[in-house]
């Protein structure tokens, strides 16, 4: 159970290490006034890495989480909010694996209805509803369309599936009077069913029922379909997010409750006492220093890499499922080449479908879902997957797009749980699996982005049960960051107008810190890539407050420019040098180190295949 030492550590971390989320902006009448006031705000961002490393060595924790993706971040948040002292170690960068390479959807998963996996769909739909409430700036409703052509009625089977989707998306007792509510796309629409008093879920966003729309309405949402002249379609709603930013926000909240997190720290083995896991042996991958992180409990939340931590223990014990990796490839295109306001369900042959979605000013296309047996170090989009996605898009939208038209590409590997049969990975369970081995280590894997909070709850519930504690889950009521309206942000000279909505959506209230940096140093008000909203001030913030340690950390995860403007980052381009120069100033790099970091990003970009060939 949470020790007296752990309680003392939490008080220490709250006062000395962790920045609590500030309240609403202070008005000028209260002595505030714009950027100067906002710059002193204490916000829930990740603590300094050097401070974290010192705390990891000097303290003993109740829970050590291995893995800094969305599952590990969720476990850290859940455990810390129940009173446990928590450490989290990530051997690369936060969200560097699967958690930054999703389809960016927070959704139930229509295709799982085909497999009658109703429990998974319902769980995901209820989590979708809750996440819009907890993080309205990060998880936003998105209209999706299933078009029909030549006067044909949209597929009846799809309509039946959408009816079921509607029913399962609402808590029992709320369905009465729901018809006619507007789903609301954009602006973080949330809505209320007018029920007044009730649970948190009762007051959260819920979409309107799916409905038939005219061809004209289809074209309003999917202008790219103009050459095919659609005659109608189904309209329904799901939600969309920036997955890497969601991970960073959850980590920031975990640290606000006392968790200590460090990236670039690789776990090489477990510490043991009386045959039980009592922490981990780790290496600071920047300095080479060996660390001993002591903890009463160890959680393995490394996803598709779970087999690498104590593989013998995992696979020699009965009933431990095998992880079966599946590669998903995504492409990005300019809005001009494939203009979308809402998302489209695109047929892709053999009963499969893919998504075409508006995302961060581009169009996102994906995903594939194929067994993967290669190296997990860098996942490269295959030429075959790129051809498959472009063929589906060109057929559906009557376009002739080629790899040369792509603005970026990425691939990730999902940790699917093998059922031992020979079916393709698309048919293998997306359910989370939790298992405990003889050392007491708990491993959580499988699942999907949307259900990260439920996976974390499942894990910490096991710890609570093991410790015979009374500590209910609280994450259903803890906001993730703090949303802010665009017009509440102070205007800073030199910052492009289009940057303000992007900052509000990415950081919420913490956008004040970005703008404070831009006001402090005028050159930081400039975009990283001309014509795109991401600012050089975000690079400085990433280094100071989000443990960004490389150019790739900034371009692939703190911003998403590596996915959205990959061609502008080729061959040590000026934007890459601008990012490296800001990091050099923040992290104390020499000129030689700065040049090496620019080349390192070029190598990383090639290995990741973000520039399609």
Tokens of 556: 């692939």
Range from 62-76, 168-182, 443-457 carrying the lowest mean pLDDT: 168-182
Listed residue (504, 514, 520) closest to 41, CA to CA? 514
The pLDDT of residue 172: 57
| CATH number, domain with residue 462 | 3.50.50.60
Listed residue (494, 536, 416) closest to 120, CA to CA? 416
The pLDDT of residue 133: 95
Q: Is residue 170 part of a domain?
A: yes
Q: Is the pLDDT of residue 20 over 70?
A: no
Residue 39 binned pLDDT confidence (cut-offs 50, 70, 90): very low
Q: Tell me: do 289 and 435 sit in the same domain.
A: yes
Q: Tell me: do 266 and 303 sit in the same domain.
A: yes
Q: Tell me: do 602 and 498 sit in the same domain.
A: yes
Range from 7-11, 90-94, 446-450 carrying the lowest mean pLDDT: 7-11
Distance of alpha carbon 143 from alpha carbon 211, whole angstroms:
11
| Domain finish residue from 436, 454, 477 | 477
The pLDDT of residue 191: 33
Element (H, E) at 140: strand 140-148
| Domain finish residue from 220, 239, 258 | 239
Q: Tell me: do 503 and 514 sit in the same domain.
A: yes
Q: Is residue 261 part of a domain?
A: yes
Query: Domain span at residue 577?
Result: 490-608
Q: Is residue 422 part of a domain?
A: no
The pLDDT of residue 444: 94
| CATH number, domain with residue 366 | 3.30.9.10
Distance of alpha carbon 603 from alpha carbon 377, whole angstroms:
13
The pLDDT of residue 317: 63
Listed residue (352, 298, 354, 301) closest to 323, CA to CA? 301
Contact 563, 331 (CB under 8 A): no
Distance of alpha carbon 127 from alpha carbon 125, whole angstroms:
5
Q: Is the pLDDT of residue 143 over 90?
A: yes
Listed residue (291, 280, 285) closest to 547, CA to CA? 285
Q: Is the pLDDT of residue 140 over 70?
A: yes
In percent, the amount of the chain with pLDDT more than 90 equals 70
Residue 310 binned pLDDT confidence (cut-offs 50, 70, 90): confident
Distance of alpha carbon 475 from alpha carbon 323, whole angstroms:
27
Q: Tell me: do 556 and 467 sit in the same domain.
A: no
Contacts by residues 23-31 (CB-CB < 8 Å, ≥ 24 positions apart):
25/484, 25/488, 25/509, 25/512
Q: Tell me: do 36 and 50 sit in the same domain.
A: yes
Residue 278 binned pLDDT confidence (cut-offs 50, 70, 90): very high
Of 594 and 324, the one with more pLDDT? 594
The pLDDT of residue 430: 66
What is the average pLDDT across 137-160? 91
Distance of alpha carbon 283 from alpha carbon 538, whole angstroms:
29
Q: Is the pLDDT of residue 561 over 60?
A: yes
Q: Is the pLDDT of residue 560 over 50?
A: yes
Question: pLDDT tens, 252-275?
Answer: 999 999 999 999 999 999 999 999
Q: Tell me: do 222 and 125 sit in the same domain.
A: yes
What is the average pLDDT across 352-366? 97
Contact 367, 413 (CB under 8 A): no
| CATH number, domain with residue 500 | 1.10.8.870
Of 571 and 63, the one with more pLDDT? 63
The pLDDT of residue 194: 31
Q: Is residue 109 part of a domain?
A: no
Q: Is the pLDDT of residue 302 over 50?
A: yes
Three-state SS at 421: coil
Q: Is the pLDDT of residue 49 over 60?
A: yes
Task: Outline where DSSP puts E strands in 349-431.
Answer: 353-359, 362-366, 370-371, 406-417
Q: Tell me: do 146 and 65 sit in the same domain.
A: no
Question: pLDDT tens, 540-552?
Answer: 999 999 999 999 9
List Cα–Cα distances, 53 to 56, 240, 290, in angstroms: 5, 34, 11
What is the average pLDDT across 38-46? 48
Distance of alpha carbon 566 from alpha carbon 472, whole angstroms:
45
Range from 310-319, 354-363, 532-541 carrying the lowest mean pLDDT: 310-319
The pLDDT of residue 315: 62
Q: How many helices (H) and strands (E) does the chain have?
A: 19, 18
Contact 246, 228 (CB under 8 A): no
The pLDDT of residue 414: 87
Listed residue (20, 22, 15, 4) closest to 59, CA to CA? 4
Q: Is residue 446 part of a domain?
A: yes
Listed residue (440, 459, 443) closest to 78, CA to CA? 459
Q: Tell me: do 66 and 95 sit in the same domain.
A: yes
Q: Is residue 483 part of a domain?
A: no
Tokens of 609: 């295949």
Q: Residue 120 — φ and ψ, nearest 5°? A: -65, -45
Q: Is the pLDDT of residue 472 over 70?
A: yes
The pLDDT of residue 29: 31
Question: pLDDT tens, 210-238?
Answer: 999 999 999 999 999 999 999 999 999 99
Measured N-to-C along each axis, helices 452-467 and 118-134 cross at an angle, to the nearest 10 degrees, of: 100
Q: Is the pLDDT of residue 576 over 50?
A: yes
Q: Tell me: do 188 and 308 sit in the same domain.
A: no
Of 116 and 547, the one with more pLDDT? 547
Q: Is residue 107 part of a domain?
A: no
Contact 506, 499 (CB under 8 A): no
Question: pLDDT tens, 63-106?
Answer: 999 999 999 999 999 999 999 999 999 999 999 999 999 999 99
Q: For residue 538, is the peptide bond before it cis, meaning its omega torsion is within 30 degrees of 0? A: no
Q: Tell me: do 156 and 180 sit in the same domain.
A: yes
| Domain finish residue from 211, 239, 267 | 239
Q: Is the pLDDT of residue 21 over 60?
A: no
Q: Is residue 26 part of a domain?
A: no
Q: Tell me: do 222 and 369 sit in the same domain.
A: no
What domain count does the chain have?
4
What is the average pLDDT across 8-13? 35
Distance of alpha carbon 248 from alpha carbon 558, whole angstroms:
8
Residue 195 binned pLDDT confidence (cut-offs 50, 70, 90): very low
Tokens of 254: 């975990």
């Amino acid at each position: 159970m949470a020790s007296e030492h752990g309680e003392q550590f939490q008080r220490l971390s709250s006062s000395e290490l962790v920045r609590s989320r500030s309240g609403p902006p202070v008005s000028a009448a209260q002595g505030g006034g714009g950027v100067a006031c906002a710059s002193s705000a204490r916000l829930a961002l990740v603590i300094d890495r050097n401070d974290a490393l010192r705390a990891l060595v000097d303290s003993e924790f109740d829970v050590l989480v291995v893995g800094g993706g969305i599952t590990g971040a969720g476990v850290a948040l859940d455990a810390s909010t129940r009173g446990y002292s928590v450490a989290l170690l990530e051997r690369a960068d936060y969200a560097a694996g699967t958690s930054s390479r999703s389809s960016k959807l927070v959704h139930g998963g229509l295709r799982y209805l085909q497999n009658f996996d109703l429990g998974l769909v319902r769980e995901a739909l209820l989590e979708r509803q809750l996440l819009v409430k907890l993080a309205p700036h990060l998880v936003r409703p998105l209209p999706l369309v299933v078009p029909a052509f030549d006067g044909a009625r949209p597929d009846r089977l799809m309509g039946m599936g959408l009816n079921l989707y509607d029913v399962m998306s609402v808590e029992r007792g709320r369905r009465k009077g729901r018809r006619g509510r507007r789903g609301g796309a954009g602006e973080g629409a949330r809505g209320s069913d007018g029920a007044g008093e009730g649970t948190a879920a009762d007051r959260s966003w819920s979409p309107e029922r799916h409905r038939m729309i005219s061809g004209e309405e289809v074209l309003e949402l999917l202008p790219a379909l103009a050459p095919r002249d659609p005659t109608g379609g189904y309209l329904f709603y799901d939600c969309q997010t920036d997955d890497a930013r969601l991970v960073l926000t959850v980590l920031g909240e975990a640290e606000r409750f006392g968790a200590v997190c460090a990236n670039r720290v690789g776990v090489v083995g477990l510490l043991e006492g009386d045959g039980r896991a009592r922490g981990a042996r780790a290496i600071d991958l920047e300095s080479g220093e060996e660390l001993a992180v002591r903890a009463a409990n160890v959680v393995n939340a490394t996803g598709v890499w779970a087999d690498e931590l104590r593989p013998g223990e995992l696979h020699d014990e009965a009933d431990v499922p095998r992880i079966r990796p599946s590669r998903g490839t995504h492409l990005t295109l300019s809005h001009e080449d494939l203009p979308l306001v809402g998302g489209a369900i695109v047929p892709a042959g053999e009963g499969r479908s893919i998504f075409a979605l508006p995302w961060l000013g581009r169009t996102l296309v994906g995903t594939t879902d194929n067994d993967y047996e290669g190296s997990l170090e860098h996942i490269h989009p295959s030429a075959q997957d790129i051809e498959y996605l472009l063929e589906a898009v060109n057929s559906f939208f009557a376009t002739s797009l080629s790899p040369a038209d792509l603005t970026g590409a990425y691939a990730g590997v999902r940790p699917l749980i093998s059922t031992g049969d020979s079916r393709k990975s698309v048919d293998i369970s997306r359910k989370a699996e939790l298992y405990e081995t003889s050392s007491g280590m708990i491993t959580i894997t499988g699942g999907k982005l949307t259900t990260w909070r439920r996976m974390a709850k499942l894990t910490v519930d096991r710890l609570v049960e093991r410790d015979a504690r009374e500590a209910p889950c609280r994450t259903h009521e803890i906001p993730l960051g703090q949303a802010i309206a665009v017009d509440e942000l102070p205007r800073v000279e030199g910052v492009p107008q289009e940057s303000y909505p992007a900052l509000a959506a990415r950081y919420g209230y913490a956008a004040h810190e970005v703008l404070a940096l831009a006001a402090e140093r005028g050159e930081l008000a400039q975009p990283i890539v001309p014509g795109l909203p991401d600012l050089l001030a975000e690079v400085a913030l990433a280094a100071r407050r989000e443990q960004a340690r490389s150019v790739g950390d900034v371009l692939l995860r703190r911003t998403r420019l590596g996915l959205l403007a990959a061609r502008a980052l080729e061959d040590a381009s000026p934007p890459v040098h601008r990012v490296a120069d800001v990091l050099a100033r923040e992290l104390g790099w020499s000129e030689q180190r700065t040049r090496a970091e620019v080349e390192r990003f070029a190598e990383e970009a090639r290995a990741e295949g973000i520039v399609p060939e």
